[in-house]
Amino acid sequence: MSGKTDKASFLKKLYSRDVHISRLLIMLAAVLIVMLLLKPEKFYSIANFKTMAAQFPEFGIMALGIMLCMITGGIDLSVVGVANFTAISSGVVLKSMVDSNGNLLGYGIMATLLFGIMIGAATGFINGLLVSKIQIPPILATLGSYELFTGIGIILTKGKAIADLPLEYSELITAKLLGAIPVQLIIFVLMACLIAFLLARTTYGTRIYMLGTNITAARFSGLKTGSLLIRTYALSGICAALGGLVMLANYNSARADYGTVYTLQCVLIVVLGGVNPNGGHGRISGVVLAILVLQMLSSGLNFFPQISNFYKSLIWGSVLLIVMVMNYSTENKSAKRVKAA
Amino acid sequence: MAQSVLKVVDIKKSFAGVEALKGVSLEIAPGEIHCLAGENGCGKSTLIKIISGVYTADAGYIEFGGRSYQKITPIEAIMNGIQVIYQDFSIFPNLSVMENLAFNTELADKRVLVNRKRFRKIAEEAIAKIDFKVDLDAKVKDLSVADKQLVAISRALMFNAKLIIMDEPTTALTKKEVSALFKIILALKEQGISILFVSHKLNEVFEISERFTIIRSGEKIITGNTSDLDDKKFSYYMTGREFEDLSFTAKNVEEEPVLEVEDLSLGGCYENVSFSLRKGEILGITGLLGSGRTELALSLFGLKKADSGNIRINGKEVVLDSVAAAMENKIGYVPEDRLTEGLFLSRSIGENIIISDLNSLSGRAGVYDFKKKKSAINKWVKELAIATPDPDNACSTLSGGNQQRVVLAKWLARDLDVLILNGPTMGVDIGSKHDIHKILQSLAEKGLGIIIISDDLPEILQNCSHILIMKDGRVTARLDPKKIREKELSEYMM
């Protein structure tokens, strides 16, 4: 009998070691089991997994940027605007990189990618300035810059899509390495690893966690809060730009209103991943897990024709609120435990 | 003795298996001013909440005017004339004074419609009881802390209070406001109202109370007459420790000053402040709230640049216009408000210690040297005897005294020449206070220049090698702590 309680308490301990991650693992398992019972042959096919792996990187990379901003106690709602703006301007650059015969120049793709990343860094820099120097609340600053970048995108394209891009770009980014691993996924994994490294192994990581916990104490401790915020928003801008560059390849075109649902979805992912919206706490493993859960949920829903796309927003909204309520109750519990001790 | 207003007998209470009160008894006579003292976490707040009906005791009983109760509700407590004034006063900051005062009566009368005239009458009666002059239409949030407290007291008096419990009422008050409060307490006593005064400040206990009770880790240590109490006994009852006397004499003082301040001024804050500090000395700066002492400290730490005047470090003139500049000049600052300015409460103790010294723990591009990081954290946890099983625990798990050591460690981890401390032992228990003083004195001996800003006069007298008094932004006196007593010092401040 004692063996049983031991096991139970062991599981409990494992669960409470990181409640967010445990909860995500349970959700992931639940989705996998439901799909196994209801749509095994469709969901568990190589084709489906390939599709999923090519789909999530575009918003997954953007979510990584939002996570960084949320760790500092802010948020970046401009990611989709930055992504589209990057995709449009990079598309223009890409189209101009052809020789007189209409062939793409050798360095064309490299130059386009670099250009896109610089656009991302610059837009993020502007966000950072607005947040740190002018001290506009991040939610307003980035909502404003979202409209701004989208607006520039609309003017550049006159509301139409930028199409007829040289095919080489799209072919490269959507290629499958070894016939299975999409390049989009590799870009996502590289970015996730870079950010994981920054957070766990560098002083920059510690600094933004501390800044997000208490900005006044950060100032009194000699942290350069302004430059930290600017760097963080610039990094988020780069993430968003990479997302935009992936979108440009996926659709082989760019428009100012692609992926508008991603804003809410990315915030949902970050919160679901256990990042504290008030700043100071959050792990990249949680966010990556949340991305996977959401992608599988979304792909899974596609196999049920009776649930139309109209329901998606309703489902995302409910999941977001339920997660916030659950986070609130776990935080209260742990606060009580600290008080009692 | 007349029949007691309140009698608490053998109260026990546990939370989640932790015994907060282990059988505490207490008796208060009509018109008595009784002081309840004890360190943070000793159980005094729990006791108050049991008396006021917020918590229910696990064992024991409470008697009000001879009627005994196993458990009471907050309403029953109020009906029996018990009123508690909590530290946060529980008033509505967005409403006017009048509304705050009349609100409860209106509710108690179960009125549906309100009547401004009746409101005003009720409120006027309420403030007249303690002769409190205030604009009834002012919003409570715009009042000073002391006035807010008086609003709370006036409100408490409206319910035929027989016993008013004040939970650390003097924490946020200036010296003047404290003496005004004490006058009101004495007036209430005249009216036969008893006061249970919760405090851990020795001088207040002496000044106001007739009898006292000290609680330590959930047990009543002693109840007695305040006249039998002295400094040493008080500390002993509170902590169970005997303290040696720590009077500081500066040894190892260097010839040349490390910090010289000349005619420093900042508009609206302070004017023409000059002093010099040598390594090995501890300079005390004291003055009332608003005397400019905190602004001066912020200027020396680069957070509020002075308008005019010179600052010299090791003889070289410097401009302190940012925290980075101050840190470059080897100045550290332990801020006034530990919780909001000093600490990252939900982050680990270790991170809190190293946050200002990250650069020396990392290589190129800020990549950590984990070995160095770990050994730095362990070194300071050990050196300052921070009581924690694991430096990875959140800082919020520590007591006030240990948290203050963490803030101290944060600066000591850097190689400093000057350390400025604003209220180094505010809200810290007696044991930790003693230890922190010892640490500061030994740091000075090792050649650190220290400035202590404090309105805890015994602290200043005990630890400093010389004292500056500030008043309305000016330095009004320079004193030698060896030649002056607390009373004279406080006269200089007024």
The tens digit of pLDDT for each residue in B217-245 reads 888 888 888 888 887 888 888 888 777 77
Contacts with B389 (C-beta within 8 Å, 6 or more apart), sequence order:
none
As given in the structure block, the two tokens for residue A53 are 């792996």
Residues written for chain A: 341
Mean pLDDT of B108-112: 72
Fill in the amino acid letter for A317: G
Q: Which domains does chain B possess?
A: 6-239 (3.40.50.300), 257-493 (3.40.50.300)
| Chain-chain contact of B344 with A280 (C-beta, under 8 angstroms) | yes
| Chain-chain contact of A338 with B397 (C-beta, under 8 angstroms) | yes
Three-state DSSP class for B85?
strand
- State the DSSP string of B265-281: EETTTEEEEEEEEETT-
For strand B33-37 and strand B18-28, is the pairing parallel, antiparallel, or unpaired?
A: unpaired
Q: How many whole angstroms separate alpha carbon B19 and alpha carbon A337? A: 15
As given in the structure block, the two tokens for residue A26 are 């349970």
Q: pTM for this structure?
A: 0.79
Closest Cβ–Cβ partner in A203, A219, A220 for B368: A203
Most confident of A82-86, B186-190, B265-269: A82-86
Q: How many whole angstroms separate alpha carbon B414 and alpha carbon B331? A: 9
Q: How confident is the model at residue B64 (pLDDT cuts 50, 70, 90)?
A: confident
Q: For all residues of chain B together, what is the average pLDDT?
A: 86
Residue B420 has pLDDT above 90, yes or no: yes
| Chain-chain contact of A222 with B365 (C-beta, under 8 angstroms) | no
Q: Measured between CB atoms, does A100 come within 8 Å of chain B?
A: no
Q: How many whole angstroms separate alpha carbon A244 and alpha carbon A223? A: 32
**Strand order, beta sheet including B449-453:** B331-334, B418-422, B449-453, B282-287, B466-471, B474-479
pLDDT of residue A340: 42
Q: Burial level of B1, CB count in 10 A (0-12/13-18/19+)?
A: exposed
| Chain-chain contact of A214 with B343 (C-beta, under 8 angstroms) | yes
Chain A, residues 242-281, CB within 8 A of chain B, namely 280-281
| Cβ atoms of residues A62 and A235 within 8 Å | no
Closest Cβ–Cβ partner in A213, A216, A340 for B341: A216
Three-state DSSP class for B374?
helix
Helix or strand (DSSP H, E) at B25: strand B18-28
Q: Which residues pair with B452 in a beta bridge?
A: B284, B421
pLDDT of residue A341: 38
**Dihedral-angle region of residue B40 (phi above 0 means left; psi in -120 to 50 means alpha; beta otherwise):** beta
Which of A183, A163, A186, A187 lies closest to A173 in space, CA to CA? A183
Q: How confident is the model at residue B260 (pLDDT cuts 50, 70, 90)?
A: very high
As given in the structure block, the two tokens for residue B390 are 């694991």
How far apart are the CA of B323 and the nearest CA of chain A, in angstroms? 5
As given in the structure block, the two tokens for residue B17 are 């298996």
Q: How many whole angstroms separate alpha carbon B177 and alpha carbon B182? A: 9
Contacts with B24 (C-beta within 8 Å, 6 or more apart), sequence order:
B8, B10, B11, B43, B47, B60, B215, B218, B219, B220
Residue B129 has pLDDT above 80, yes or no: no
Domain residue spans of chain A? 43-326
**CA closest to B362 among chain A residues:** A203
pLDDT of residue A240: 97
Q: How confident is the model at residue B456 (pLDDT cuts 50, 70, 90)?
A: confident
Interhelix angle for A203-213 vs A225-251, to 10°? 110
Domain range A43-326, CATH class: mainly alpha
How far apart are the CA of A332 and the nearest CA of chain B, in angstroms? 14
Q: A29-60: b or e for each residue (b if 16 or more CB lie within 10 Å)?
A: eebeeebeeebeeebeeeebebebbbbbbbbb
Q: Burial level of B206, CB count in 10 A (0-12/13-18/19+)?
A: middle
Q: How many whole angstroms separate alpha carbon B86 and alpha carbon B171? A: 11
Residue with tokens 């005990």: B462
Fill in the amino acid letter for B255: E
**CA closest to A213 among chain B residues:** B344
Q: How confident is the model at residue B115 (pLDDT cuts 50, 70, 90)?
A: confident
Name every chain A residue with its beta carbon within 8 A of the beta carbon of B20.
none
Alpha helix locations (H) across A97-224?
Answer: 108-132, 138-157, 167-173, 183-201, 203-213, 215-220
pLDDT of residue A43: 86
More confident residue, A290 or B204: A290
Q: How many whole angstroms separate alpha carbon B361 and alpha carbon B353? A: 12
Closest Cβ–Cβ partner in A206, A214, A219 for B358: A206
Fill in the amino acid letter for B416: L
Mean pLDDT of B137-147: 82
Mean pLDDT of B81-105: 81
Mean pLDDT of B42-66: 86
Q: Burial level of B146, CB count in 10 A (0-12/13-18/19+)?
A: middle
As given in the structure block, the two tokens for residue B424 are 């180094």
Kindly give the parts of chain A with pLDDT less than 70: 1-8, 331-341
What beta strand segments (E) does B126-216 contain?
163-167, 194-198, 211-216
Which of B213, B225, B184, B195 lies closest to B30 in space, CA to CA? B195
Distance (Å) of CA A174 to CA A186, A246, B161, B177: 11, 8, 78, 73
As given in the structure block, the two tokens for residue B27 are 């008796």
pLDDT of residue B487: 78
Distance (Å) of CA B428 to CA A169, B61, B425, B434: 65, 32, 5, 10
Three-state DSSP class for B474?
strand
Q: Mutation target for A interface from B15, B46, B348, B355: give the one with most A CBs within 10 A.
A: B355
pLDDT of residue A297: 86
Q: How many whole angstroms separate alpha carbon A324 and alpha carbon B482? A: 60
Q: What is the pLDDT of residues B337-361, one digit of tens each?
A: 888 889 999 999 999 999 998 888 8
Least confidently predicted of B35-49, B404-418, B441-455: B35-49
Mean pLDDT of B185-201: 86
Q: What is the pLDDT of residues B289-327, one digit of tens each?
A: 778 899 999 999 999 999 999 999 999 999 999 999 999
Contacts with B28 (C-beta within 8 Å, 6 or more apart), sequence order:
B4, B5, B6, B7, B34, B163, B194, B196
Closest Cβ–Cβ partner in A209, A280, A340 for B16: A340
Q: Measured between CB atoms, does A218 come within 8 Å of chain B?
A: yes
CB pairs under 8 A between A and B: 74
Q: How many whole angstroms separate alpha carbon A247 and alpha carbon A85? A: 11
